[in-house]
């Protein structure tokens, strides 16, 4: 015998997931705009946006924002170097966070 959840429950779960996805997209674009503004770009490469989303899965939006601001301030002359620096800062934050969790 299979028990089905009430339709309202399924619908509210779907709405909750959609809201969370929209929030994550908004956070990703918030961080991406820091990069785009620094380099006066009207868009950002899809792989960079995917990386930002991945970091947001592991860090708070404030930590990712801080990393992007640091990178674009330190390396405003090179998109590639700034983004690599940003990724390095994020990975360092993730590593430190996991070390604290296991200590």
Residues 6+ apart with CB under 8 A from 56: 24, 27, 28, 31, 64
Count CB neighbours of 25 within 10 A: 13
Residue spans of the domains in the chain: they are: 7-102
Q: State the Cα–Cα distance between residues 32 and 27, nearest whole angstrom.
A: 9
Q: State the Cα–Cα distance between residues 52 and 79, nearest whole angstrom.
A: 14
- For the entire predicted model, the pTM comes to 0.83
Tell me which residues of the chain have a pLDDT lower than 70: 1-8, 103
C-beta of residue 68 within 8 angstroms of C-beta of residue 30: no
- Over residues 50-68, the pLDDT tens digits come to 999 999 999 999 999 999 9
């Amino acid at each position: 015998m299979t028990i089905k959840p009430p339709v309202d429950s399924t619908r509210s779960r779907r709405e909750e997931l959609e809201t969370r996805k929209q929030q994550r997209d908004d956070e990703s674009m918030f961080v991406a705009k820091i990069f785009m503004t620094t380099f006066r770009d009207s868009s950002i490469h899809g792989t960079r946006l995917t990386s930002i989303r991945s970091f947001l899965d592991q860090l708070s939006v404030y930590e990712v924002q801080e990393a992007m601001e640091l990178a674009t301030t330190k390396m405003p002359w090179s998109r590639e170097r700034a983004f690599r620096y940003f990724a390095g800062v994020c990975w360092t934050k993730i590593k430190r966070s996991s070390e604290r969790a296991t200590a």
